[in-house]
Structure 1
């Protein structure tokens, strides 16, 4: 029997590890599917569980099983960038009243369940009715020199900080592809352990695809800005776009790269996929 394809780059020296992870992940997947079958008979998906379709930057290498979830964007009249969050509503599902956060964005159902993995389902900001203003705010310890010098941690993200996005470069990979920032979302006045980390990129590629008829990007991005929840779908590490020079060794200088286990995501190829959203803590 031939060996399964190894997603790790050979130079990473992680072949033995990845086979173990893939094997255990396959077994875990069987358990997850079985558990999901039980869960769907006992808890409504609106309470935070079940098979969920979502959009995100495609996983192209490494052991991550899927894309990271995209955060749809809007920009207010003052140029501040924020994530779209569906209004909460109370519905009856399976004979039980639950609070859901769900909306139609374009032709897609966008819900808070997109972000319910890696323990994030327990974070305060993921609760549908959480009292948050949805503005993106800069992270306190970013890897980008421009962000360290031009803005303060906790400051709201504004479009004026990205005026050079068509030419920006930090010497990692090709210049002019997009200007990045690390930020937080729906995390005001919550413990650090409950902070939602996000990756923001403003790019001509995203802008052009939206303007040229990509229906989803037209609905979910604005002025070339695209964002994702920055939690690797492998082991929940925090990746980065053009954040590490070492990403070039793994063919990821122009992609979102997770240094922990070399998972790679293409921020300019937003794909639709699915996963089993984990349930939020019972609020009753």
Structure 2
């Protein structure tokens, strides 16, 4: 989405942020006491949770209340892995519990970013869970993209796999925006999988370097200084990733994975076919939501 299409001026510092908190604005307005009340009504019993700010790929259309949470990336040699925060103990309401939390790129990154759609019950989200494959992104048993079919389900994603990212296309939307992959994260041996989408994109490279970018689709993208700092810490070599679970009804959206997305002007965005929610992978914004507590 271009700056010209947004109702907030690009130089206001509010343009991306205000759209990012759609779905959390009411929560922010009622204050901490009201937020706690909302949380107690809408969430199951457990530990942690409550008002949480996260970085997400922006929801731009459809019924989804907010964007999908970004997963910070680090590169180990040539292999991609998702950053998992440092495990700590907190006390809330007389209950001591674990949370994974760390400061990165000027933000407090927490495992509670992923506490929605029941994922707070997943073993892979448990702060101290130690996955057999570590935190590396692996292809998994059912990859979204045809180009991944030549790899085994335990193969790790590598930088080299994305060498054609500047011209890649699959006939859906515009070629040259970047090369995507789906991946299993922290959950190869668990009953419930965490599915992550990864893109290596020239747009992300430009945003990291300049705070502005011109995409092959003709769109202009921009981020403010704080988001640029965040991307510099979490999106190396033009890679960005997010937990691919729609915030509406927990369906699994696709980026350039469904030809029908063009009917909803979403061929170059992340499209959820269940109820036509759309997400912009090149617009990273902060958003406020009520994280569900993790079961005791």
**Superposition TM-score tier, normalisation by shorter sequence:** 0.7 to 0.9
Cross-structure match for 1:205:
203
Inter-partner Cα distance in structure 2 for 1:241 and 1:280 = 29
Q: Say which SS state the counterpart of residue 209 (structure 1) adopts.
A: helix
Which of 255, 258, 283 is matched with 2:272 structurally? 258
1:146 maps to: 147
Residue 54 of structure 2 is matched in structure 1 by 54
1:241 alignment counterpart: 255
CA displacement, residues 89-123 of structure 1 (integer Å, 9 cap, x when unaligned): 22444444321211101210000000000010100
Structure 2 Cα separation of the partners of residues 221 and 60 of structure 1 = 21
2:35–2:51 contact (8 Å) kept in structure 1: no
Which residue pairs with 2:8 in the alignment? none
Q: Distance in 1 between matches of 2:60 and 2:41?
A: 32
Would the alpha carbon gap of residues 157 and 138 (structure 1) be closer, same or farther in structure 2, given more than 3 Å must change? Answer: same
Is 1:156 aligned with 2:185?
no
CA–CA distance in structure 2, aligned partners of residues 175 and 115 of structure 1: 31
Deviation at 1:48, TM superposition (A): 3.0
Deviation per CA, 1:13-65, whole angstroms, max 9, x where unpaired? Answer: xxxxxxxxxxxxx9xxx99974415799x96xxx3310100011110111111
Query: Which residue does 1:118 correspond to in 2?
Result: 117
Q: Is residue 2:86 matched to residue 1:87? A: yes
Do 2:36 and 2:50's aligned partners in 1 also have CA atoms closer than 8 Å?
Answer: no
| Counterpart Cα distance in 2 of 1:64 and 1:93 | 30
RMSD of aligned alpha carbons: 2.2
Instruction: Find the partner of 1:232 among 233, 246, 261.
Output: 246
Structure 1: distance between partners of 2:290 and 2:90:
21
Contact 1:200–1:227 (Cα < 8 Å) also in 2: yes
Structure 2 stretches lacking a partner, 5+ long:
1-25, 212-227
Offset from partner CA, 1:203-228 (integer Å, 9 cap, x none): 01011111225111111111111000
Query: In 1, Cα distance between the equivalents of 2:41 and 2:115?
Result: 18
Matches within 5 A, 1:178-197: 178-191=178-191, 194-197=192-195
Q: Contact 1:48 / 1:116 at 8 angstroms: preserved in 2?
A: no
The CA distance in 1 between the partners of 2:176 and 2:106, in whole Å, is: 32
Deviation at 1:72, TM superposition (A): 0.5
With a CA cutoff of 8 Å and minimum separation of 6, indicate the structure with the bigger relative contact order. Answer: 2
Alignment pair present for 1:135 and 2:133 = no
Q: Which residue of 1 aligns with 2:294?
A: 280
User: In the alignment, what sits opposite 1:7?
Assistant: none
Q: 1:190 to 1:240 in 2, by over 3 A?
A: same
Q: Return the alpha-carbon distance in structure 2 between the equivalents of residues 121 and 226 of structure 1.
A: 23
Q: Give runs of ≥4 in structure 1 deviating > 6 Å.
A: 30-33
SS at match of 1:207: helix
Name the count of aligned residue pairs.
246
